[in-house]
Amino acid sequence: MKEDIKSMSLEELEIFIESIGEKKYRAKQVFSWLYKGIYNFNDMSDLSKELRNKLDQIAYIERLDILKIQESKKDRTRKYLFGLRDGSAIESVFMKYRHGNTVCISSQAGCRMGCDFCASAIGGLTKNLSPSEMVDQVIAIEKDTGEKVNNIVVMGTGEPFDNYDNLCKFIVLIHTQEGMNMSLRNITVSTCGLIPKIKEFGTDFPQVNLAISLHAPNDAIRSKLMPINRKYPMDELLRVCHEHTMVTGRRITFEYALIEGVNDSSENAKELADKLSNILCHVNIIPLNLVSERDYRGGGRRSAQIFCNILTQNGINATIRRELGSDIDAACGQLRLKQKN
């Protein structure tokens, strides 16, 4: 079986290159080509023909197939449907902000967390993505747009901490100077609340931003929306979040999808503000995107503004997420579902 060379760290690649009788420094050359978006060993022009042929026989360069692209006419947001080698499909999103370009990538094909309002969980988990499959989402989007990616959020399809080892390797790869040289502070990882991994992540990557998909002010609502809350209740989750901020010195973002008649009342906002009062945090209020397979509806911008005002009046830093790609399949998992259908 050929080796997945794009999933190798630089150190692993050096060992691999030496194991086939080549000089160690060749690994940096190969590594650099991979992150320039080269998919064919024959295009690595500073390697000998002998080495290129040898690599072609024993290794492969992961390449995702672009199955579909949707581009917003409103704000140039681009949503990608990528095909994997096993026939699975995943989504990524390219977004333009004043502070630079952000790519939201997937960490799994499908998801087994079962959040009741989420399109990504429909159909369950298909597979964990390899480090190279995560990396190539970024590389492929840079090649397609011709623009540099400045920030990465692991917030697409899947629960990143349910694929923890590959997530960590992806972060190391994307951060390596000889590769994309992405600052750890420009990477954000979102989780629905896998507490043991939150603790581990704070030690492993204290500079990486952490986002928590919270979406409720109490256990009753959160357990209805998010089955993970039955295993890791909200009080325990918030306690660990507070510890995370103390260990890392970095603010946590709480994602809060506003669902009409479920979690969007003034009382919900006041209760949430009370729960978060001792945590260094920011609340990102998200008007829920409509998912045809689900029964929930978003409350709209006016409802979001009222909710946001109550939080800020009670001392919680909060903003409403800018709506990008509202004229395309904006919610995570929607484009993938259409492909299946």
pLDDT in tens, 255-278: 999 999 999 999 999 999 999 999
Structure token digits, residue 283: 């609340």
Share of the chain above pLDDT 90, in %: 84
Out of 55-59, 60-64, 95-99, 317-321, which region has the weakest mean confidence (pLDDT)?
95-99
Residues 6+ apart with CB under 8 A from 28: 10, 178
Instruction: Give the chain's domains with CATH numbers.
Output: 3-60 (1.10.150.530), 65-340 (3.20.20.70)
Q: Is 276 exposed, middle or buried (0-12, 13-18, 19+ CB in 10 A)?
A: buried
| Distances, alpha carbon 197 to alpha carbons 219, 231, 250, 308, 325, in Å | 20, 14, 17, 29, 31
Q: Is 91 part of the annotated catalytic residue set?
A: yes
Looking up tokens 């400045």 gives 150
H or E, element range at 338: helix 334-340
Length of the chain: 341
Which residue of the set 91, 133, 142, 159 is catalytic?
91
Give pLDDT tens digits for 73-114.
Answer: 888 899 999 999 999 999 999 999 888 999 999 999 999 999
The Cα–Cα gap between 260 and 263 comes to 7
Q: Which of 111, 115, 308, 332 is catalytic?
A: 332
- Are 190 and 286 within 8 A, CB to CB? no
CB 275 within 8 A of CB 237: no
Residue whose entry in the numeric block shows the structure tokens 């500073």: 46
Which tokens in the block code for residue 48?
Answer: 């000998």
pLDDT value of residue 228 = 97
Query: How far is 150 from 307, CA to CA, in rounded Å?
Result: 31
DSSP 112: S
Stated pTM of the model: 0.92
18: annotated active-site residue: no
